[in-house]
Amino acid sequence: MQARQETIAVYPGTFDPLTNGHVSIVRRAKDVFDYIVLAIAKDTPKDPLFSLGERVQMAEEVFRDNPQVVVESFSGLLVEYVENRGGNVLLRGLRAISDFDNEFQMALMNRRLKRDIHTMFMMTDYKWLFTSSSIIKETAFLGGDVEGLVPKAVWKRIKQRRNQNKHE
C-alpha cells in the first residue's frame, strides 16, 4: 500500500477578529485533516478594525500550542495561494441560511478559477450560530461583555483597544 499523503486544508477569512466560532471549526477540522492553514486575508473590502499584523498575532497566540495549525496571511487570489501552499482543500464554516448565497457564489467562482481545488463546508457548532466578528465588535465597543465568545487573547486585545479609544 502506498504511503498516505498529508492532507492540508486552508481555512481563509478576514478574522477581524478570530472568534470562538472560527476556533470551533479549526478544532473539528483537525480531526479530518493533518494540517489546517488559517489564512488571514490582507485584501478585504471590510476595512478591518485590527491591522493584518494584529489579526495574525492574535491567531498565533490562540493556536500557539497546536502544531497542526499554521497561521499565515495572504493577498491576491485565494485559489492561487492555496495552490502555492500545496493544498487542494478550501475550508469554510457555514452558520445559517444567510451564509449560503455568498458561500455558494464564492465556491463556484473558486471552482471556475481552479477546478482541482475543492471547497468543503463544516457546520458551525450551534453555540456560535448567532455570532460574527462584526456583531462581537459592535457589542464590545458599545461596552457589552463578549467574554466567552472570543478566545482569551482576543478578548484581551479588544479591551486594550477599547481603553485606547476612551483616552483618545
Interface residue list for ligand COA (CB under 6 A): 12-16, 19, 21-22, 25, 41, 44, 46, 77-78, 93, 95, 106, 109-110, 124, 128, 131-134
Q: How far is CA 45 from the centre of its chain?
A: 16
Nearest residue to the partner ligand COA, using Cβ: 21
Q: Angle 99-22-86 (CA atoms, 0-180°, nearest 5)?
A: 95
Give the nearer residue to ligand COA in terms of CB position, either 6 or 80. 80
Closest separation in Å from C-beta 49 to ligand COA:
10
Given the residues 27, 42, 112, 133, the one annotated as active site: 133
Q: Is 22 a catalytic residue?
A: yes
Q: Return the closest-CA partner of residue 132 out of 165, 91, 94.
A: 94
Active site residue 112: no
Instruction: Judge whether 69 and 62 are in contact, CB under 8 Å.
Output: no
Q: Reply yes or no on whether 85 is catalytic.
A: no
Q: Which of 22, 55, 92, 137 is catalytic?
A: 22
Q: Which is nearer to ligand COA, 35 or 93 (CB)?
A: 93
Which of 47, 50, 44, 53 lies closest to 17, judged by CA?
A: 50
Determine contact, residues 119/112, Cβ cutoff 8 Å: no
| Catalytic hit among 55, 92, 95, 157 | 95
Cell, residue 36: 489546517
Q: Is 46 a catalytic residue?
A: yes
Smallest distance, Å, CB 71 to ligand COA? 14
Q: What backbone phi and psi angles, to 5 degrees, belong to 120? A: -120, 145
CB 48 → ligand COA: shortest distance, Å? 8
Half-sphere exposure of 108 (CA within 13 A, CB side): 6
CB nearer to ligand COA: pick between 77 and 160: 77
Grid coordinates representing 139 are 457589542
- Provide the annotated active-site residues: 22, 46, 95, 133
